[in-house]
Amino acid sequence: MDRIASSPAIAAVKASLEGISFADDAATLRLKSRDFYWFSPILKAELDGKLADLIVFPKDESEVMHVAAIAARCRVPITVRAGGTGNYGQCVPLHGGIVLDISALESTVWVKAGAGRFQAGSRLLEIDRSLKPFGQELRFYPSTRKQATIGGLVAGGAAGAGTCTWGQISDMGAVLGLRVVTVEDEPQIVELRGPDIYKVMHAYGVNGIITEVEVPLAPAHDWAERIISFPTLKAAAAFGQDLTSRDAIAKKLVSVHDARIPAGIKRLKAIVPDGEAMALVMISEPQIEQSEELARTHGGVLRYARSAADAERAAFEGEGDLAPIYEYSWNHTTLHWLRADPTITYLQLRFPPGRNLDLVDWIVETFPDEILLHLEFQRRFGHVTHSALPIVRYSTRERLYEIIDALNANDVAVADPHSYLLNDAGWKRVDSGSAEFKRFADPHGLMNPGKLKDWSVQ
Amino acid sequence: MDRIASSPAIAAVKASLEGISFADDAATLRLKSRDFYWFSPILKAELDGKLADLIVFPKDESEVMHVAAIAARCRVPITVRAGGTGNYGQCVPLHGGIVLDISALESTVWVKAGAGRFQAGSRLLEIDRSLKPFGQELRFYPSTRKQATIGGLVAGGAAGAGTCTWGQISDMGAVLGLRVVTVEDEPQIVELRGPDIYKVMHAYGVNGIITEVEVPLAPAHDWAERIISFPTLKAAAAFGQDLTSRDAIAKKLVSVHDARIPAGIKRLKAIVPDGEAMALVMISEPQIEQSEELARTHGGVLRYARSAADAERAAFEGEGDLAPIYEYSWNHTTLHWLRADPTITYLQLRFPPGRNLDLVDWIVETFPDEILLHLEFQRRFGHVTHSALPIVRYSTRERLYEIIDALNANDVAVADPHSYLLNDAGWKRVDSGSAEFKRFADPHGLMNPGKLKDWSVQ
């Protein structure tokens, strides 16, 4: 399918916007048609140059509905975005048309003990800032907390800091409700709850515009930060596993890195001695003492300490000598490395609980130079394990898929981040109902076209 | 060893109390020399009639130190107690002397985000009541929350509601610090932190008088209560395992009962249909909807629902149509059954994660009539499993130990609750350092004598 938005159709859209803010200058089109897909050399080649015809900035849900109606009536593609922190081109418009930037939908609908409801464009950091007086916080956030929105987390994200305690966004219980606007001549509003939420979760906005997200909240802890070095990755990984398995230690982040990773990031190189592996941890402040003791039993040496108050200032105000340490974990590790070496890329790996540490050893032996592991410890379905978003030294597409095949064949499941197809990357939820729901919510097949493989308007 | 407190020694103690409150009337001596050891027919035979000579009621730590000095100088046994909710005779004075009731030491030393420090005689329910305005709560409490104290939980307890999320009191991180008074001519105050706390934890007060306990606190949730019935114990247990494994559902209690258990408790018999197994759950209120849905997928039918506000009123004010549901779980189940049938008793079982549900099947097949299981789901060392405090139909001591041996031989670990010896019941922590610490903190061997097997003054 080629660009399906004809000039007359785009002109008709513009003529119908009735004062809703939009932009079509070249700089804005370029800026708002991108996400972080360039982490992948494969996606970079495939997605560079894909542009929207028009960026529309609705200020509230009624404007969202108005734009949805125009898109439907004019048969113009519509791709939803906000922070644009995805890594698979989730919000890159493959076939032009409208990019709908919902960043202005950033109000809190309500907050009560243990739950909150937010407009989808609310940034995660700002949600946490607003929750502070209530003694509550989001259970988890990706390393892009500052830019990423709650709608984006639900529509295209997975995990992050907090996953070591609360699991992932896809887990039953992680999302309570979603409000969705359909793309029809007369758009409808649908409230999804219970298992119905999976119809639109992690669906890259192919089947409805999520306007509100209701999530359980965690009562807030004061999270202190520590960076601890270890003689080997094996020792650091054993610490990570041990700490994450300690039910009695309240924790937000347990991120363990191959020695070469901090050595390649300027600010960390100054903290972690050459040749030593590293653990980044965020721990409830009153439990730091015991966590440090646990680290010592694994051969760890404390290299950096920041109080919860100072860590919060780093996150909320950008103050301090180091970015918030979660900004060196998860996929921010890749970002820091790409700044120094644009030839590298990354993968997304899941490890089976019980065998995860053995499989780390196997990867280190099998791919000593090509894969630099950092392990993001987490709870999955009641078990402790880790995922990994390793730095991968990229040579060719063929070699990358050889590595992927070898990993998959050895029970390290790869969620391929080098495909923009919904069915390939991420969850591969064939049972998610997203295709079926698309027939209802997007009868003209206009939403983020090209992302849902093998789908066509019937 | 026989009673070692001579009448002149007791008289000397009384003469030295300098206004500290005490009692030696028969009723008080009887009342304050007992705990719930009578759950065990074996302990009942062994401990009935064991009496203190004197109950002393210090009002603060300086009075505790004064009594400790008198006990040391007069060489009179001293046994610490408070709520007296133990089940192994932890606070029964085997050799008379002083019972030190520290119930008046019930002040909060300090509270901050994520931690609090309390005098050892503080009752758990009152701690939670006082924490309410701070948006915090104790991580866990035994079913005896109303009577039990934080000092008793540390000195002789293990787990309870909250264990499904936070593990047990013995887990690293569950206790931050302990303040201990030694029993010497000139008593000392010792602050134990880190691994040193295990020297006196679960030591039944044989090696020091715990006067303050510092614990991490959980930010508070609003815990709603549900009772759900299932066609079979197997289905209920599968639900319990599934729910406890859902990292994203915030939970305080997951307690699963054989169909015969609610049938034997009047208030529950009215709620749960005959022949149906039962799950008692406490869930963060905004997540009730998803928990009920999960129960339905396991064949569960909702039988009783109480809002978090009403559940709190039941716990704090004693109001409502049903006791707080945690008062039907853990060892309260035994208490309710004993009221109807004084011939039964119980055991304490730990199940290895991964095989726990299979071992439930094995017990049901092997001991169809003698063991009535209720499964207390919990996290242990990062795994989901359950313990059990089953109702056991008691015939003889020999048969009881046949059952215990069979269970132990099949990987169901029995912590024998029919022994008052520290080394037999509970943790069997030979590495705990309690004996070594006793030589320091109790040089005359006066503290709770007879509980630490094979120990003698050197």
- Return the structure tokens found at A167: 């699991």
| Chain-chain contact of A216 with B248 (C-beta, under 8 angstroms) | yes
| Chain-chain contact of B167 with A248 (C-beta, under 8 angstroms) | yes
| Chain-chain contact of A176 with B247 (C-beta, under 8 angstroms) | no
Nearest CB among A113, A115, A172 relative to B248 is that of A172
The pLDDT tens digits of the residues spanning A13-60 come to 999 999 999 999 999 999 999 999 999 999 999 999 999 999 999 999
Residue of A134, A172, A288 to mutate when probing chain B, most B C-beta within 10 A: A172
| Chain-chain contact of A247 with B165 (C-beta, under 8 angstroms) | yes
Write down the pLDDT at residue A451: 87
Q: Tell me which chain B residues have a C-beta less than 8 angstroms from the C-beta of A353.
A: none
Q: Tell me which chain A residues have a C-beta less than 8 angstroms from the C-beta of B136.
A: 219
Rounding to the nearest 10 degrees, give the CA dihedral for residues B374, B379, B385, B388.
-30
Question: SS in 3 state form for A291-339?
Answer: HHHHHHHCCCEEEEEECHHHHHHHHHHCCCCCCCHHHHCCCHHHHHHHH
Asked whether the beta carbons of B77 and B95 are under 8 A apart, the reply is yes
* Residue B249 Cα, gap to closest chain A Cα (Å): 5
Write down the pLDDT at residue B430: 44
Q: For residue A26, how many other CB atoms are within 10 A of its CB? A: 9
Strand partners, B181: B189, B209
The distance in angstroms from the start CA to the end CA of chain A is: 16
| Chain-chain contact of A176 with B249 (C-beta, under 8 angstroms) | no
| Chain-chain contact of B222 with A113 (C-beta, under 8 angstroms) | yes
Nearest CB among B136, B221, B382 relative to A247 is that of B382
| Chain-chain contact of A172 with B383 (C-beta, under 8 angstroms) | no
Write down the pLDDT at residue B219: 87
The pLDDT tens digits of the residues spanning A291-333 come to 999 999 999 999 999 999 999 999 999 999 999 999 999 999 9
What chain A residue is nearest to B167 in terms of C-alpha separation? A247
Q: Tell me which chain A residues have a C-beta less than 8 angstroms from the C-beta of B114.
A: 221-222, 250, 284-287
Asked whether the beta carbons of B186 and B69 are under 8 A apart, the reply is yes
Rounding to the nearest 10 degrees, give the CA dihedral for residues A81, A84, A90, A96.
60
Q: Tell me which chain A residues have a C-beta less than 8 angstroms from the C-beta of B294.
A: 172
* Residue B72 Cα, gap to closest chain A Cα (Å): 34
pLDDT tens for chain B, 458 residues long, are 445 667 899 999 999 999 999 999 999 999 999 999 999 999 999 999 999 999 999 999 999 999 999 999 999 999 999 999 999 899 999 999 999 999 999 999 999 999 999 999 999 999 999 999 999 999 999 999 999 999 999 999 999 999 999 999 999 999 999 999 999 999 999 999 999 999 999 889 999 999 999 999 998 999 999 999 999 999 999 999 999 999 999 999 999 999 999 999 999 999 999 999 999 999 999 999 999 999 999 999 999 999 999 999 999 999 999 999 999 999 999 999 999 999 999 999 999 999 999 999 999 999 999 999 999 999 999 999 999 999 999 999 999 999 999 999 999 999 999 999 887 655 444 445 578 899 999 999 999 998 887 666 55
Nearest CB among A114, A135, A249 relative to B173 is that of A249
Enumerate the H helices of A318-451 as residue ranges: 332-340, 356-366, 397-409, 434-441
Q: How far is CA A377 from the centre of its chain?
A: 16
Question: SS in 3 state form for chain B?
Answer: CCCCCCHHHHHHHHHHCCCCEEECCHHHHHHHCCCCHHHCHHHHHHHCCCCCCEEEECCCHHHHHHHHHHHHHHCCCEEEECCCCCCCCCCCCCCCCEEEECCCCCCEEEEECCEEEEECCCEHHHHHHHHHHHCEEECCECCCCCCCEHHHHHHHCCCCECHHHHCCCCCCCCCCEEEEECCCCCCCEEEEEHHHHHHCCCCCCCCCEEEEEEEEEEECCCEEEEEEEECCHHHHHHHHHHHHHCCCCCEEEEEEECCHHHHCCHHHHCCCCCCCEEEEEEEEHHHHHHHHHHHHHCCCEEEEEECHHHHHHHHHHCCCCCCCHHHHCCCHHHHHHHHHCCCEEECCEECCCCCHHHHHHHHHHHCCCCEECEEEEEEECCEEEEEECCEEECCCHHHHHHHHHHHHHCCCEECCCCCCCCCCCCCCCCCCCHHHHHHHHCCCCCECCCCCCCCCCC
Write down the pLDDT at residue A4: 62
| Chain-chain contact of A381 with B247 (C-beta, under 8 angstroms) | yes
* Residue B239 Cα, gap to closest chain A Cα (Å): 13
Q: Tell me which chain B residues have a C-beta less than 8 angstroms from the C-beta of A245.
A: 381-383
The mean predicted confidence, pLDDT, of chain A is: 94
**Cross-sheet strand order for the sheet of A78-81:** A21-23, A54-57, A98-101, A78-81
Count of alpha carbons within 13 angstroms of residue B115, beta-carbon side: 21
The pLDDT tens digits of the residues spanning A348-372 come to 999 999 999 999 999 999 999 999 9
Q: Tell me which chain B residues have a C-beta less than 8 angstroms from the C-beta of A246.
A: 167, 171-173, 381-382
Q: Tell me which chain B residues have a C-beta less than 8 angstroms from the C-beta of A112.
A: 286
Nearest to A255 by CA among A242, A236, A234: A236
pLDDT band at A432 (very low <50, low <70, confident <90, very high): low
What chain A residue is nearest to B297 in terms of C-alpha separation? A195
In the chain, the amino acid numbered A62 is: S
What chain B residue is nearest to A164 in terms of C-alpha separation? B247
| Chain-chain contact of B167 with A221 (C-beta, under 8 angstroms) | no
What is the CA angle A194-A196-A198, rounded to 5? 105
| Chain-chain contact of B290 with A172 (C-beta, under 8 angstroms) | yes
| Chain-chain contact of B219 with A222 (C-beta, under 8 angstroms) | no
Residue A428 has pLDDT above 50, yes or no: no
The pLDDT tens digits of the residues spanning A213-223 come to 999 999 899 99
Q: Tell me which chain B residues have a C-beta less than 8 angstroms from the C-beta of A136.
A: 219
Which sign does the torsion angle of CA B406, B409, B412, B418 carry? Answer: positive
Nearest CB among A173, A193, A294 relative to B249 is that of A173
What chain A residue is nearest to B247 in terms of C-alpha separation? A166
- Return the structure tokens found at A283: 């721990």
| Chain-chain contact of B381 with A172 (C-beta, under 8 angstroms) | no
pLDDT band at A436 (very low <50, low <70, confident <90, very high): confident
The pLDDT tens digits of the residues spanning B365-391 come to 999 999 999 999 999 999 999 999 999
| Chain-chain contact of B221 with A219 (C-beta, under 8 angstroms) | yes
B225-250 per-residue burial string, b: 16 or more CB within 10 A, e: under 16: bbbbbbbebbbbbbbbbbbbbbbbbb
| Chain-chain contact of B249 with A382 (C-beta, under 8 angstroms) | no
pLDDT band at A456 (very low <50, low <70, confident <90, very high): low
Length of chain B, in residues: 458
Q: Tell me which chain B residues have a C-beta less than 8 angstroms from the C-beta of A114.
A: 221-222, 250, 284-287
| Chain-chain contact of A167 with B248 (C-beta, under 8 angstroms) | yes
| Chain-chain contact of A172 with B220 (C-beta, under 8 angstroms) | no
Residue A422 has pLDDT above 90, yes or no: no
| Chain-chain contact of B248 with A287 (C-beta, under 8 angstroms) | no
Write down the pLDDT at residue B6: 78
**Alpha carbon separation from B221 to A162, A219, A220, B41, B164 (Å, rounded):** 17, 7, 11, 39, 14
What is the CA angle B208-B446-B415, rounded to 5? 65
Q: Tell me which chain A residues have a C-beta less than 8 angstroms from the C-beta of B165.
A: 247
| Chain-chain contact of A219 with B222 (C-beta, under 8 angstroms) | no
| Chain-chain contact of B114 with A290 (C-beta, under 8 angstroms) | no
What chain A residue is nearest to B224 in terms of C-alpha separation? A114
| Chain-chain contact of B245 with A381 (C-beta, under 8 angstroms) | yes
Q: How far apart are CA B169 and CA B155, in angstroms?
A: 10
Q: How far apart are CA B208 and CA B226, in angstroms?
A: 41
Q: Is the pTM of this model over 0.90?
A: yes
Q: How far apart are CA A89 and CA A87, in angstroms?
A: 6
Long-range CB contacts (< 8 A, 24+ apart) of A405-412?
A: A406/A366, A407/A347, A407/A349, A407/A363, A410/A359, A410/A362, A411/A352, A411/A355, A411/A359, A412/A349, A412/A350, A412/A351, A412/A359, A412/A363
Q: How many Cβ contacts (< 8 angstroms) between chains A and B?
A: 144
Count of alpha carbons within 13 angstroms of residue B221, beta-carbon side: 26
DSSP state of A220: P
**Residue with the larger pLDDT of the pair A397 and B6:** A397
Q: How far is CA A154 from the centre of its chain?
A: 9
Strands A78-81 vs A223-230: parallel, antiparallel or unpaired: unpaired
pLDDT band at A455 (very low <50, low <70, confident <90, very high): low
Residue of B172, B221, B283 to mutate when probing chain A, most A C-beta within 10 A: B172
The pLDDT tens digits of the residues spanning B36-53 come to 999 999 999 999 999 999
Q: Locate tokens 């997203």: which residue?
A: A434
* Residue B367 Cα, gap to closest chain A Cα (Å): 30
